[in-house]
A and B are shown apart, each in its own frame.
Chain A
């Protein structure tokens, strides 16, 4: 009886812990969405902030975030997937593999503010790139690369050996096998890694706060200064500039992150069905 009651209690607790986790997410997301919806209208989404963000909208912040995302995708995806490809398909040097893996694991855990300082010293003061969205994007790329690399490497290494052998057996070159068999098979895993890394880059404020110049103006090129959404939310809330606009900015941020997560999950599961995985 004693053993059975312990079993009952623990089983209840495990179910409860799942429910608590779900509840935490629900509370945070619905709180932000409910409190923020009131601030959302076309004017808020499509105009510049006025009076340091007390009034007006957040269009320059949305654009800044998109610029940063574009730079990060452009640099981090080819570099991350490329290095994973080399590791999984070409490399025969075990030491190099260990070194790269350790570096990417350390980089994946280094605090974002440390990346920010490195960017400040290396890009802004040493290379004199200037405070700009480009400088911020370069540092975000460095932050995102390890995640893309790690997840892609796992995906590439889990492509069944006989797929490759079949391909080589038909006389295809290595690169032909990579583009026609290996990459398509690993694509859903690689895509997951890319989405994970880009969502983080999109959400990042600390790494770029001293790189992007934090201006409220409309960015028109990558060399302009700007202020991404998370940083704007931080400034609005922490300096108590406008709680209403802070809720509105938080709404937009969380809505974008939710959309990316749901959409990418949907795409991945459809692709996996098509591939028959």
Chain B
């Protein structure tokens, strides 16, 4: 009995490790952000238009704009394809094709982000440069690659949502003489909507957080882009670019950027939780 007791307490303490480490993460991010919050104020930091570490000016609005625009564009490119593919796999594909796609989606999700960045650098950048305007390092280049990167996340989570639509809902609709498309549009998609929204939120999280693939493609010019063929800079790529040599208040400014990113993820996940008051399984 003592052995059982020790095992239970041991397993319990493992959970506290997770809580302690994540609390430490928040504490360290906030602690390193304090100098910026005290000296600049969080409002000026977030809404400031200029980022000039040499002159101790730190405003991240252009990078927030960069992150939001690139994420938005990648969603526009990714969502129609991803949701159609999820419908294909759950509703149309025969079981052997469905089985074949499982490792395909896994592999798409497993390809290192640096490989996606490298593919973008050697294929998409010249493609954009030669067929459109600019250097090829642009918002659209990064968005195309990000769209591919979030594809597996959105497909697999929406697939789970579509799978969980009760069979009798569909049968009732078929029984009334609906075509398959009418069943999909009127029954399956509305019922699976919360799950599909969850999938999109997870996609947003992945797109906002992606660092090196974006850094390799977006040109990293710190302006608010006015066209999709212009370069931009994102919150994550800025951290990765400058952390190597940042000291003093510049170092703190990068940590504050990370804190902003962390806060964005907390907000996204909270939205996700509100949408899905759910049991085990469905990962937010």
Contact = CB atoms under 8 A, between A and B. Distances in A.
A127 B258 CA distance: 20
A205 B108 contact: no
A25 B106 CA distance: 11
Given A203-B111, A203-B114, A205-B212, A113 B239 contact: yes
B76 interface: no
A44 interface: no
A17 B85 contact: yes
Contact of B84 (A14, A86, A103): A14
The DSSP consensus for interface residues of chain B is helix
A113 to B, nearest CB: 4
Interface in A221-256: 230-231, 233-234, 237-238, 243, 246, 250, 253-254
A145 B32 CA distance: 25
B115 interface: yes
Interface in B243-279: 243-244, 254-255, 258, 261-262, 265-266, 268-269, 272-273
Contacts of B273: 102
Interface of B: 3-4, 7-8, 10-12, 14-15, 17-19, 21-22, 24-25, 28-29, 31-32, 80-81, 84-85, 87-89, 91-93, 97, 101-119, 121-123, 148, 151, 155, 179-182, 184, 202, 205-206, 208-212, 215-216, 236, 239-240, 243-244, 254-255, 258, 261-262, 265-266, 268-269, 272-273, 280-281, 283-284
* Leading 5 A-B pairs by shortest Cβ distance: A111-B209, A203-B112, A17-B84, A86-B11, A109-B205
18 contacts: A6-B179, A11-B92, A14-B88, A28-B115, A28-B119, A86-B14, A99-B19, A109-B202, A110-B261, A111-B209, A121-B255, A145-B18, A149-B18, A157-B280, A206-B240, A230-B113, A253-B114, A257-B112
Interface of A: 3-4, 6-7, 10-11, 13-15, 17-18, 20-22, 24-25, 28-29, 31-32, 35, 78-79, 82-83, 85-87, 90, 96, 99-100, 102-118, 120-122, 126, 142, 145-146, 149-150, 153-154, 157, 173-175, 196, 199-200, 202-206, 209-210, 230-231, 233-234, 237-238, 243, 246, 250, 253-254, 257-258, 260-262, 265
